[in-house]
Amino acid sequence: MSGSVVLIHLAGAVALLLWATRTVRTGVERAYGDILRRKLRGTLKNPLAAVAAGALLAIAFQSSTAVSLLVGSFVGSGIVGAASGLIAVLGADLGSAFVVKLLSFDLSLLVPILIFSGTAIFLATERRAWRQFGRILVGVGLLLLSLQLIGNASEPLRHSDLLPIVINYLSGDVVTAFLLAALMTWLFHSSIAFILLVVALASRGLIPAELGVVLALGANLGGGLIAGLLSRTMAPASRVVPFGNLAIRGIGAVIALAALTIFKPPLEYLGATAPLQIIHAHIVFNIALVIVGMPIAGLVTRILENVSPSGPAAATLEDREASALDPSALSIPSRALANVTRAVVGVCETVEVMLKNIMELYEEPDRERMAELASLDDRVDRKHAAIKLYLARIPPEQMDEHDVQRTRELLDACVKLEQVGDIITRNMLVHVKKKLDRGLTFTPEGWRELSNLHATVLNNARLAFNVVISRDPGTAQALVREKDRMRDLERETSERHFERLRVGTKKSLETSSIHLDTIRDLKQINSLLASIAYPVLEEHGLLRGSRLAPAAE
């Protein structure tokens, strides 16, 4: 087999590995993301619990980067402290190391079972949670299959004349190997994927254990770089955790590389084979980072908070959104409408924050955060007024029929988003205040039902935001179907609540009005968001004129 054919097979196998990792991550995020976020918020205050939660979340998401960005957003929102968040991310790095260990076992028999089961589940139901579970199973099956393909594709490299030269050079120049591994990990956007590739090549005898450990250390630096670079557009407070993790991981990797080069510790204690030595060195390194990082996390985050840009030098999100409404573009309607779309995206982001935060306040009422949430509604009102004025200034004589239709859509979407904000602050925030003033608590069953209802609305909100931007008819259809599912879910939730009232559950009696009003508010929010899809469906002929049955003659 020629070298070019070997590389093509290897590239395809690596691409499948990256795709499978992403499939698992998106499946977990869509099916269980909101549940995992709620659980994570409650455990981050305890350092040991934060490490465990971060590790478990990294195993679920197949990515420590996703955990780093998620926890960073929690810190930016003031939900948890920066030090606790950093400790959780160090735990996530350890969790991703255990993922590598888990996937190193011979699980080839599971490949057909997982792919068949996942496909059957995905095709057999329309329920989102089950379909995403099927997606996760298929993703894990493809991930295991990709590792087999990498091993098979790399087999001919045993007889390559060039590869030993490259390996010998990298073995003699550990700094280059370290930096190359960091670069490749950044290109892969996954330290798990890169280390699995190194382990697969080591299992074929293509990479010695010493070089493999150096590459694993470089992958740790690259893994920290991924989250650091992806967080560059986040608020300064949200960037503290990813950059703190990068600092600890990067400095730790450099120190470990220096120790490995100078002292040349025997790797035989880590395992009998090169793959085991690489995997176990990766795990030991991340355990050491957790042990060292926990006591210094507070110091690291304080240093980063002091050097983070703030004040006028750091443009706020609202400033950037205001700059999107460029007056010089008004004479060209297509450009002006593109600017409005960007501004509406900003409104979507603010409404999403409000929708997420209101349920957190139901769980843990706090007057300061309630005031902050109310201020977000004022921001939505200001944005809506600015967008409405900007649209009115576009010369109508220069707009064609498509521009006029898009103007209506954007204005209608903005109006509905403002109404959602009003429901959150004028209705749901009042319920939170009542709950706080009276010291009320929901029953575990009631709270679980409200949380599930809220998670559904939040997922539908994200679908609605995608419709605003992409105008995709498939997404619009999915959003309207979710409206029907939401109606059934709301009815079931109300019936279960009344059943608890019949048996005289005390907490249900005390919180009955708040519970039912919240169900009504969530349903109303969901209806407003679903109606954003109607113009797109109507344009593509996918909307019926009336949902009423024909009258009998």
pLDDT, one tens digit per residue, over 360-386 is: 888 888 888 888 888 888 888 888 888
Q: How confident is the model at residue 552 (pLDDT cuts 50, 70, 90)?
A: very low
- Measured distance CA(70)–CA(29) in Å, rounded: 11
User: Do 319 and 383 touch, CB atoms closer than 8 A?
Assistant: no
User: Do 475 and 466 touch, CB atoms closer than 8 A?
Assistant: yes
Closest listed residue to residue 372, CA positions, set 359, 385, 383, 358? 358
* Per-residue pLDDT tens digits for 118-174: 999 999 987 777 888 898 899 889 988 987 888 787 777 666 777 788 889 999 999
pLDDT at residue 79 tops 80: no
* Per-residue pLDDT tens digits for 406-417: 899 999 999 999
- Measured distance CA(416)–CA(535) in Å, rounded: 13
Closest listed residue to residue 207, CA positions, set 277, 148, 122, 270? 277
Helix (H) or strand (E) segment spanning residue 494: helix 473-502
Domain positions in the chain are: 3-311, 318-539
Residue 332, phi then psi, degrees to nearest 5: -120, 95
**More confident call, 430 vs 107:** 430
Q: What is the pLDDT of residue 237?
A: 75
Place of tokens 């709301």: 490
Place of tokens 């909101």: 34
Place of tokens 């549940």: 35
- Measured distance CA(181)–CA(43) in Å, rounded: 34
Tokens of 392: 């009115």
**Residues in CB range of 63: below 8 A, 6 or more apart:** 21, 25, 96, 190, 192
Residue 428 is classified by DSSP as I
Q: How confident is the model at residue 551 (pLDDT cuts 50, 70, 90)?
A: very low
- Measured distance CA(343)–CA(101) in Å, rounded: 45
**Residues in CB range of 256: below 8 A, 6 or more apart:** 217, 285, 288
Provide the mean pLDDT of the chain.
84
Q: How far is CA 429 from CA 45, 63, 164, 400, in A?
A: 25, 35, 66, 42
Residue-wise over 209-238: b if at least 16 C-beta within 10 A, else e? bbbbbbbbbbbbbbbbbbbbebbeebbebb
Residue 426 is classified by DSSP as I
| CA-angle at 398, arms to 392 and 404, nearest 5° | 60
**More confident call, 249 vs 46:** 249
Q: What is the pLDDT of residue 439?
A: 83
**More confident call, 259 vs 68:** 259
CA atoms within 13 A on the CB side of 171: 14
How many contiguous H segments (helices) and E segments (strands) does the chain have?
A: 22, 0
Positive or negative: CA dihedral 378, 233, 63, 125: positive
What 3 state SS string does 263-314 have? HCCCCHHHCCCHHHHHHHHHHHHHHHHHHHHHHHHHHHHHHHHHHCCCHHHC
* Per-residue pLDDT tens digits for 57-77: 888 777 788 788 778 877 765
**Residues in CB range of 57: below 8 A, 6 or more apart:** 36, 40, 67, 70, 92, 95
**Residues in CB range of 292: below 8 A, 6 or more apart:** 248, 252
CATH of domain 318-539: 1.20.58.220
pLDDT at residue 210 tops 90: yes
Q: What is the pLDDT of residue 343?
A: 86
Exposed / middle / buried, residue 434 (Cβ in 10 Å: 0-12, 13-18, 19+): middle
Output the pTM of the full model.
0.60
* Per-residue pLDDT tens digits for 8-61: 888 888 888 878 877 887 777 777 766 666 666 666 667 888 899 889 888 877
User: C-alpha 416: how far from its chain's center?
Assistant: 26
- Measured distance CA(457)–CA(450) in Å, rounded: 11
